[in-house]
Amino acid sequence: MSNIDRRTLVRGSLAAMMAGAASSRAALAQSAEPILLGVSGPLTGPNAQYGAQWKQGFDLALDEIHAAGGINGRKLAYQFEDSQSDPRQSVAIAQKFVSDPRIVMELGDFSSPASMAASPIYQRGGLVQFGFTNSHPDFTKGGDFMWSTSVSQADEQPLLASYAVRRLGLKKLAVLHLNTDWGRTSRDHFVKAAKEYGAEIAVTEGYIAEERDFRSTLVRVRDASPDGLILISYYSDGALIARQARQVGLKQTICAASSVYSPKFLELGGEAVEQVHLGTRYFPEDPRPEVKKFIAGFKAKYNGQEPDAFNAYSYDAMNMAAAVVKIGGTDRRAIRDAFAKVKDVSSVIYGQATFDVESRRVKGAMNAELVVRKGQFTLWDGKPT
């Protein structure tokens, strides 16, 4: 577990050396070393689970990239540094990556405080910081070396609002949201869109990430008598809220943000998440070829495990990194410029991803309306629940 990254590195360089030996001496000099990406993210500490999910997505993408011949014949590898999502450590890692000439670009960090504290160092050091889970509206404003494929909440939340209000016909909503920068931004975009679509917001409640008990919150929700509950949550807290809502006898329709899309949501929520609606970027029976390839590859590599949203983000991110490096080569500035040049990179989240050069983000995330039926995520058939 601990040194997948280094093992990948060693394996990568060995394979590259063999490939080089097979061709010519000149090629050997060029392709002996893999092209190295730096990853700053949590492997220990309270967010460790997300770092572990990143690795799964990265490794799958790397397998596919290498099977397809690598980057112009060279291998791609990453060096994962554990930041614990702590800004003090992410800034040290940033200096480490910036001063290491082998690193051509950086991916991460996970939380906004850790990522954005490191941004000035990457910007001044001229190394791309590619944040693929950084939805904070100010992340890419850190400078022209900050790029993000994270779905902007300004894009995602209107889709969820449309699902809840226009499609499910909910008129009076209670919004429960994680009280973080992500949850807060999402809530604001959701509320704005839902009001535009004609719904009334009965109550909004922000809770902290460590919260386990939502019974009293749900009494507040009940007293506001909404006809639908909106969860702007991650899968673990989303499952807790759904369970407790059903336990205290709330029978309203529940509609959740795409971040709950994970097999863990079903496992942790059990019966209670039955009939929960959610918008997602992809789903198991998705006919899109890139999604089919991703899900099949993931299950084959990880003993039948279903991938979730964070696996998909990191898989997409590594593919994007490969596409960028293919154009930009190993020069750090050329890589930054390559972000503006890549077009229509195959992506699980976007279908085809192209950066908007102004905002340095990608627009137009795919959208699918799912519902949990018989313990499975299935495409909503339009039938009221």
Partner 1 sequence: MSSWLDYTINGLIVGNVYALVAVGLALIFGVSRLINFAQGSIYLVGAYIGWVAVVRLHTPLPLTIIVVAAAAAMVGLIIERFGLRPLQNSVRIAPLLATIGISFVLDQLVMLTFSPNPRALPSQLPDVRFQLGGGTIGPLDLLIAGVGLTSALLLFVFLRYTKLGWAVRATAQDRDAAMQMGVDVNRVNQAVFGIAAALGGVSGMLVGMYYNQIDTAMSLQATLKGVVAEVVGGAGNVPGAVIGSLLLGLVESYGVAVFGTSYRNLFAFLLLVVVLVLRPSGLFASARQAPPEPLTGTFIAPSRPVRIPRWALLVAAAAFAVLPFFPVSSYVLQTLINAWLLGMLALSLTLVAGTMGQVSLGHAALLAIGAYTSALLSLTLAVPVGLAVIGGGLMSAALGTLLISPSFRLRGHYVSIATLAIGEIVSLVILNWESVTRGPIGISGIPPLSLFGYDLISPFSVYWFSFAVMLVLALLQGRLLGSHLGRSFRAIRDDDIAARAYGLSLNRYKSLAFIFGGFAAGVSGGIAAHLYSYINHETFNTQQSILALTVVILGGLGNVVGAIVGSVALVGLPELFRIAAEYRILIYGIVLLLLVRFRPQGLLGTI
Nearer to partner 1, 144 or 285 (CB): 144
Nearest approach in angstroms of CB 86 to partner 1 is 8
Amino acid identity at 346: S
Residue 112: how many CB atoms within 10 A of its CB?
21
Write down the least CB distance from residue 66 to partner 1, Å.
Answer: 22
- DSSP letter at 199 equals -
Select the residue interacting with partner 1 from 21, 23, 29, 46 (CB under 8 A): 46
Residues 378, 385: Cα–Cα separation, whole Å = 13
Which residue, among 6, 66, 1, 71, has the nearest Cα to 39 in the 3D structure? 6
What does the block give as tokens for 180? 């973080």
Question: Rounded to the nearest whole angstrom, what is the least distance from the CB of residue 371 to partner 1 in the complex?
Answer: 21
Residue 112 lies near partner 1 (rule: CB under 8 A):
yes
Which residue in 35, 65, 94, 370 binds partner 1 (CB under 8 A)?
94
Q: Residues of 319-332 as b/e, b for ≥16 C-beta within 10 angstroms?
A: bbbbbbbbebebeb
Q: How far is the CB of 68 from partner 1 (least distance, A)?
A: 28
32, two tokens: 């002996």
**Site membership for partner 1, residue 192 (CB under 8 A):** no
List 65, 98, 191, 348, residue binding partner 1 (CB under 8 A): 98
Distances in Å between the Cα of 385 and the Cα atoms of 226, 242, 251, 260 are: 16, 16, 11, 19
Interaction of residue 2 with partner 1, rule CB under 8 A: yes
Residues 203-222 touching partner 1, rule: CB under 8 A, are 205-208, 210-217, 219-220, 222
Which position among 149, 152, 180, 259 is part of the footprint of partner 1 (CB under 8 A)? Answer: 180
Hey, what are 98's tokens?
Answer: 């910036």
CB of 148 to partner 1, least distance (A): 14
Site mask, partner 1, residues 336-375, x = CB under 8 A? ----------------------------------------
Q: Is 111 in the site for partner 1 (CB under 8 A)?
A: yes
Q: Which is nearer to partner 1, 54 or 163 (CB)?
A: 54
Whole-angstrom distance, CA of residue 87 vs CA of residue 85: 6
Q: How far is the CB of 207 from partner 1 (least distance, A)?
A: 5
Beta strands in 54-166 (DSSP E): 76-82, 103-108, 129-131, 146-148
Residue from 9, 37, 76, 117 touching partner 1 (CB under 8 A): that is 117
Give the range of 81-89, 146-154, 275-283, 360-368 binding partner 1 by CB under 8 A.
Answer: 81-89
Could you say which DSSP state residue 70 is in?
Answer: T
Q: Which residue has the tokens 């869109």?
A: 193
Three-state DSSP at 281 gives coil
Shortest distance, CB of residue 118 to partner 1, whole angstroms? 8
**Considering beta carbons, is residue 81 or 286 the nearer one to partner 1?**
81
Q: Which stretch binds partner 1 (CB under 8 A): 32-40, 172-180, 277-285, 337-345?
A: 172-180
User: 237: which 2 tokens?
Assistant: 């807290």
Stretch of residues binding partner 1 (CB under 8 A), selected from 39-47, 148-156, 161-169, 327-335: 39-47
Which positions from 129 through 148 interact with partner 1, judged by CB under 8 A?
136, 138, 141-142
Bridge partners, 368 (sequence order):
280
**Span 221-260, contacts to partner 1 by CB under 8 A:** 222-223, 236, 239-240, 243, 247-249
Is the separation of the CB atoms in 324 and 335 below 8 Å?
yes
Backbone angles phi, psi at 104, to 5 degrees: -100, -25
Q: Which residues lie below 8 Å from residue 304, measured CB to CB, with a gap of 6+?
A: none
Is residue 123 within 8 Å of residue 145, measured between CB atoms? yes
- Among the listed ranges 116-124, 153-161, 316-324, 369-377, the one in contact with partner 1 (CB under 8 A) is 116-124
Q: Kindly state the DSSP code that residue 305 receives in the 8-state scheme.
A: P
The number of residues that bind partner 1 (CB under 8 A) is 77
In the chain, helix, strand, coil percent, each to 5? 50, 20, 30
